[in-house]
A and B are shown apart, each in its own frame.
Chain A
């Protein structure tokens, strides 16, 4: 394995992270908070390690799939280790493991918190916590691809390792332009949401942090009650934007630069829309019956949009909802958002393709000699894609099962253990019972926290980069 080029990529990650940390630094200056110094120190450390790594020319430029996966997985771990420093150094999160959990939850856009009192944090920490969602949403390596001069096809390996979805496609020929375009769309949508929230009378700091959490489909709020205390206009804006950030960004490119017709024909978009609408109607009926259907729609819509895009904001404590509604929420956690969005979960396109495979298999069982091509968006699904989806699904479930088993050692009730892992591996945030919208993850043991940190990274990077990183075979010479 070409370690020198991986170190080079890590160097870039550290340097960019240092630059990003300047923002909470500025927030600390505005609010004149002493904890701002912890950012300054961390920035120095990042730059001291990062800049020499960039300047040191890699010995060889060999960069294949293996280097792509490893540098992405390792990059995210390094990113998190440094990102947790300010929380720990300032003493606002006294345990480093907790700080690490919090920041991994941030970068992977999960939104699970170990804090029982969020409001006790200083402004700069709250800002950094939410801002990690924004960085992690589109991906720090995609950001680096947009600015770093990297030649050739190696960039594809990085993009493929970091971007969610069964098959990653560029939208324009150049990787650099693709990455820039994605960030431009991301940035523009972020700005629009901030403006809309400000127009609804939300304070600037709140609009910024809420928007970062929405854009990255993260879910860290700056109030203990999550979004319950905001006006229904502000909640509705968030509902719509959560939904929008869960759509494949290629769709926006198509709408903006080509033909909207093609975009709306996307099977994944239609399925996503259908699932969301169905879930909202079912939950609203379950909550309010036919009589109170319309009043309950507001909260149902918010919660469905929040959970399926794996954001994890809450306007009510859905822990007290009927079991039917709670079950729907747990299942849509697994479905997740669209491929190529900032959301987590299994992804709608994978679910649709898996569903089509079942139909194919049923027809095959009856007609042994039948040949059926599975199509998605009018295109044949290659056998390779099919296989990788199946394997992905199996390993996802396997990791999930083992994680639940380990977490159950803490002896919480089954629902808590089950949904705690479901909420972390799908990058949602809150689960049910102990880890419900008003609960937190602070009570778990260190072992469980590490398992869930691994799950969050697995969920965000789609399993394989993490598995490859921890496979000792890949480190042998």
Chain B
């Protein structure tokens, strides 16, 4: 595909690098010639110097034949303008980075009116990632798909779990939880389990579940529930603010340590449930006084990577809390990964990652009936979204009476925005969106799946 990236900052460069490796034709636009030179010297991409919101510059970059435009300059307004103009000039899909929380509240309106296919807020995305892991610390990985409505959780079955030696079809009756096991990793093998599949302890299972059911299911199968009741955050930036509002009204208390008095007041008025401390978070006495030794989770989210690394290393030494470290730079990542900093939150990388996933989904769905396609579980499993358009032979028949292809299952059904985790009695109706999980690649129609 031909992809236009506006803004050659860290995110733009990371995107260009990854998408170039995946074989797309990349054109980068930036108004700084030096930024363009850095990119075209290291990557096989075309560079255009100019203002990405200018119709003339977009034309020079070949907007007419562009499939996707990604606007990741550091200004929200410019990003939106780029997308708007590009949309008027061609039929491309547009992606914008919009990080101002005020816009975020009206994001659906903006997307609709400006015709933007996808918006991404790096800080919100990081906060959501962090919140997910606080809610379910025992999950190995949490992925969301179907526009964030469905979660795919990966966990390892503990020893002495009731799941040990249990057939998949019995899970619902034994645990009273509506979850669907859609992939099982045993050693190097990956199975898409049928109803009679026998689970064993230390299998890594990927389950599809509604958000509210997942913690219950985890407790039932013997995974420790979330013990996190106190979160201590150093650095009152956007992520801290999102975390604060995310856990407002729950039994989780959020404590934010921020140096800037005005920001503290701002946070306090915005987050009445959170405890805002006006102090220098890099002073270890302050940290001890505020209870770093007893907190359940500690997040260093200041604007300086070095400071965050030091804070997290300190926390690691003092307490047993789950640690989160925000890292913004993309260099030296191998060293940072070795440093025992707990969960690393990289808003820029996360942004690039989400956009790349969108691009892949778009590309994979080209020329087939697949609406979107995701690669899961180390790219060995595909989850595909199909829309049921016409009255096909499988419509209205309970799933247990349908014979599906080997290693394929119906993961979930989206009926007018309502998510159904299907069991044998559920049926597929016209107008549903169905998510199919499979290890056999290259399917492009629902008919191929039901024999």
Q: Which residues of A contact B (CB under 8 A)?
A: 65, 151-153, 155-157, 170, 172-177, 379, 382
Q: 25 A-B residue contacts at CB 8 Å?
A: A151-B44, A152-B20, A152-B21, A152-B43, A153-B40, A153-B42, A153-B43, A153-B44, A155-B44, A156-B44, A157-B41, A170-B46, A172-B25, A172-B46, A173-B2, A173-B25, A173-B26, A173-B27, A173-B45, A173-B46, A174-B25, A174-B44, A177-B25, A379-B49, A382-B33
Question: 10 tightest A-B contacts by CB?
Answer: A173-B25, A173-B46, A153-B42, A153-B43, A175-B44, A170-B46, A173-B26, A382-B33, A173-B45, A173-B27
Interface size (B, Cβ < 8 Å)?
15
Q: Give the Cβ gap from A160 to chain B, nearest Cβ, in Å.
A: 9
Complex Cα gap A152–B27 (Å): 14
Complex Cα gap A126–B224 (Å): 84
Q: Give the Cβ gap from A386 to chain B, nearest Cβ, in Å.
A: 12
Most buried by B among A157, A170, A177: A170
Look across to chain A and name the residue whose beta carbon is closest to the beta carbon of B64.
A258
B41 touches A153 (CB 8 A): yes
Q: Give the Cβ gap from A450 to chain B, nearest Cβ, in Å.
A: 34
Q: Give the Cβ gap from A240 to chain B, nearest Cβ, in Å.
A: 31
B186-204: CB near A (< 8 Å → 1, else 0) gives 0000000000000000000
Determine the chain A residues whose CB is within 8 A of the CB of B2 once the complex forms: 173
Determine the chain A residues whose CB is within 8 A of the CB of B43 once the complex forms: 152-153
Determine the chain B residues whose CB is within 8 A of the CB of A151 once the complex forms: 21, 44
Query: Which of A156, A170, A174, A382 contacts B41 (CB under 8 A)?
Result: A156
Determine the chain B residues whose CB is within 8 A of the CB of A155 once the complex forms: 44
Q: Give the Cβ gap from B37 to chain A, nearest Cβ, in Å.
A: 8
Determine the chain A residues whose CB is within 8 A of the CB of B49 once the complex forms: 379
Q: Give the Cβ gap from A381 to chain B, nearest Cβ, in Å.
A: 10
Determine the chain B residues whose CB is within 8 A of the CB of A156 once the complex forms: 40-41, 44
Complex Cα gap A168–B41 (Å): 11
Determine the chain A residues whose CB is within 8 A of the CB of B44 once the complex forms: 151-153, 155-156, 173-176
Tell me the B21-50 residues at the A interface (CB within 8 Å): 21, 25-27, 33, 40-46, 49
Complex Cα gap A155–B21 (Å): 14
Complex Cα gap A151–B42 (Å): 10
Q: Give the Cβ gap from A471 to chain B, nearest Cβ, in Å.
A: 21
Determine the chain A residues whose CB is within 8 A of the CB of B46 once the complex forms: 170, 172-173
Determine the chain B residues whose CB is within 8 A of the CB of A65 once the complex forms: 41
Determine the chain B residues whose CB is within 8 A of the CB of A176 once the complex forms: 44
Determine the chain B residues whose CB is within 8 A of the CB of A174 once the complex forms: 25, 44
Complex Cα gap A176–B2 (Å): 15
Determine the chain B residues whose CB is within 8 A of the CB of A382 once the complex forms: 33
Determine the chain B residues whose CB is within 8 A of the CB of A177 once the complex forms: 25
Most buried by B among A65, A152, A175: A152
Determine the chain B residues whose CB is within 8 A of the CB of A379 once the complex forms: 49
Q: Give the Cβ gap from B177 to chain A, nearest Cβ, in Å.
A: 47
B1-29: CB near A (< 8 Å → 1, else 0) gives 01000000000000000001100011100
